[in-house]
Chains A and B, each alone.
Chain A
Amino acid sequence: MRDDWRPSASRNALRQRANILAAIRGFFAEREVLEVDTPCLASAGATDPNVPSFYVACGGPGAPPEGRLWLQSSPEHAMKRLLAAGAGPIYQITHAFRAGERGRLHNPEFALLEWYRPGWEQHALMDEVADLCRYLLGDCAVERLTYRQVFRAHIGMDPLEAPRQALEASAGGLGFGRAALRTLDRDGLLDLLLSHRVVPALGSGRLTFVYDFPASQAALARLRPDDPRVAERFELFNNGVELANGYHELTDASEQRRRFERERATRAHLGLPLPDADARLLAAMEAGLPPCAGVALGLDRLVMRVCGVRHIDEVIAFPIERA
C-alpha cells in the first residue's frame, strides 16, 4: 500500500511551524508593519538568469494574451508596487516557486517572509532582521562582515581585485573539471568559492550578516554611492545556512530597466526562457518607489533551525515528491 500520502514533517515540526508564523505576525503587529497578500501568479517572471521560474498555461476570462502566467519566485515586484502606491511598511508570508531547486535545503515550492521598510537603509534593516531572529531563535551573538572581509578571510584574496586566474587556481581543489571552470563567468567563480569554502564556515552558533556584495551581484539593490564597486545588499547566515537576502532597494527606474535588459540578454545568450521585463514594476518605479530597504527570509529554513533538523522535508508537510 502506498504511504506517500503521509506528511514528511512530524506533528511537532508542524506545531513549531505554526508557532513561528504566529510569533512573526505578533512581532510585526507590534511594530505596526502591515501584512499584505499579493498574487502568486503574475504576468512577469524573474529575468535573473539564476532564478528559474515555473509558468502556468492560463485561459479563460482575464487571461493574458500570451496565455501564460508565471509563478512568482518572490513577491518582490508586487510588494514594490504596493510601496509605490503608498502602502508604508509592509510584510508578507507567502509561497514562492523556483523550478528545479531541490535538495537538503531546497524545495521548488517554499515559504518566504518578505518585508519592506520605507526610509531605511541596509544596516537598520539588518538590526531588525537580527531582532526578529533572536525573538524566534533565542538570544545569540550577531556579527557583520563585508563580502570582501569574509572572502579575504577564507579564500585569501580580494573578490573585487583578484585576477580570474587566481580565482580559478583557488577553485582547483573543489573537484570541478578544468574545462568546466572556464565555462563559469567571474560571478560563477565567486559563487563556487563562496558556497563551497566560505558559507559552510559562516554563522557558527551566531547570526552572521555579510554585506556590500560585488556590484555585479547587485540584483535589485542600489550601488553604494561612495563605492560603486559594491552594492548595498546583505545576506544572513546561521550555522552555514543562508537564511535571508536583503537590499537597500534600487529605486531608479531607468537603471532597473537596464538591469532587466542585461539579464534578458544573458538569458537569450544561454537559451533560457525569456520572460518580459516587468512593465508594471517599471511603471510603479517611474511613478516613484520611496527609498526603502527590503529583505526575504527563508521560512522553512528558519523552522529547520528551531526544530534542529537537517533536511527541509522535516519541516514541510508535503515536499514536491508528495505534493
Chain B
Amino acid sequence: MASYTTSQFKAGLKILLDGDPYTIVENEFVKPGKGQAFNRVKVRNLRSGRVVERTFKSGDSVEAADVVETEMQYLYTDGEFWHFMKPDSFEQYAAGQTVIGDGAKWLKEQDLCKVTLWNNEPLSVEPPAHVNLAVVETDPGLRGDTSGGGGKPATLETGAVVQVPLFIEEGELVRVDTRSGAYISRAKE
C-alpha cells in the first residue's frame, strides 16, 4: 500500500484516515527548538466535505488514498444512476444520488464534468463552473424592461430553478454559474 511521510505533506495531497479519503487543505510544521516535531494539518473529508484538524508526529507515515481527478463527459441518467464517460478511453462510470448530490440539477448531456475517482469509483462530481441552459418555464416577460432590476424564477431544462431578469422568455438560453446558482447573462449557443 502506498503511503506518505509527513515530510511529503502539502496542500492537495490525498490521504486515507479512518478508512475515508481526505485531501490536505493546510499543513503546518510545528516544532519547539528542543523537542518533538509535529505536523498540524487541516484536512477535508472528500465524502462529507467536512474540514477537521489532525496532528501527526513528524516522520510518521499515512496511507495514500487512491484518488484521481478526471474529466468526463456526462451521458445520461436512468433515474437511479448518472452515467459518465472518459472521452479518451470511452470507459464508462456510474454515479449514484449520494455522489451526485446537488450537482444533478446542472448536468446537461455531453457537458464535461470533473469526476473524482476513489479506488476507481466516482467519489464526487463537479459540474462545469458555467453552463448554458434553456428556460423551459417562466412567467411572461415584461416587454421593454431591459433594466435588469427585479427578477423572477425560471425553470431550466435540467430542472434547476434560478432567478432571471424579467425580460427573459421561455425558450431562451441563459448562462448560469453552477457554484452560486446565479444567472450571468443571456447565451447564444
Contact = CB atoms under 8 A, between A and B. Distances in A.
Interface stretch (B36-44, B65-73, B98-106): B36-44
Interface stretch (B55-63, B119-127, B133-141, B148-156): B55-63
What is the predominant secondary structure among interface residues of chain A facing chain B? Answer: mixed
B54 to A, nearest CB: 4
Q: How large is the interface on B (under 10, 10 to 19, 20 to 34, 35 or more residues)?
A: 20 to 34
Nearest to B6: A100
A187 interface: yes
Contact of B34 (A51, A183, A188, A196): A51
B83 to A, nearest CB: 38
Contact of B38 (A51, A195, A235): A195
B10 to A, nearest CB: 11
A235 B29 CA distance: 19
Given A101-B29, A106-B29, A50 B57 contact: no
Contacts of A180: 56-57, 60
B109 interface: no
Contacts of B31: 50, 101, 103, 106, 195
Contact of A102 (B29, B32, B38, B54): B29
A28 B28 CA distance: 35
Contacts of B36: 50, 184, 187-188, 191-192
A192 B32 contact: no
A115 to B, nearest CB: 16
Given A50-B37, A101-B37, A176-B54, A195 B32 contact: yes
B56 to A, nearest CB: 7
Interface in B1-48: 7, 27-38, 40
Contacts, number: 77
A242 B7 CA distance: 22
Contacts of B184: none
Nearest to A74: B33
A242 B57 contact: no
Interface residues of A, number: 32
Contact of B35 (A50, A100, A104, A176): A50
Interface of A: 48, 50-51, 100-106, 174-177, 180, 183-184, 187-188, 191-192, 194-196, 199, 217, 219, 235, 242, 245, 296, 298
Interface of B: 7, 27-38, 40, 52-60
16 contacts: A50-B31, A50-B35, A50-B37, A100-B59, A101-B37, A103-B28, A104-B28, A104-B29, A105-B29, A175-B53, A176-B55, A180-B56, A191-B38, A192-B36, A195-B32, A196-B38
Given A180-B60, A187-B36, A196-B30, 20 more contacts: A100-B58, A102-B7, A175-B54, A175-B55, A176-B54, A180-B56, A180-B57, A188-B35, A188-B36, A192-B55, A194-B35, A195-B38, A196-B40, A196-B55, A199-B32, A242-B33, A245-B33, A245-B34, A296-B33, A298-B33
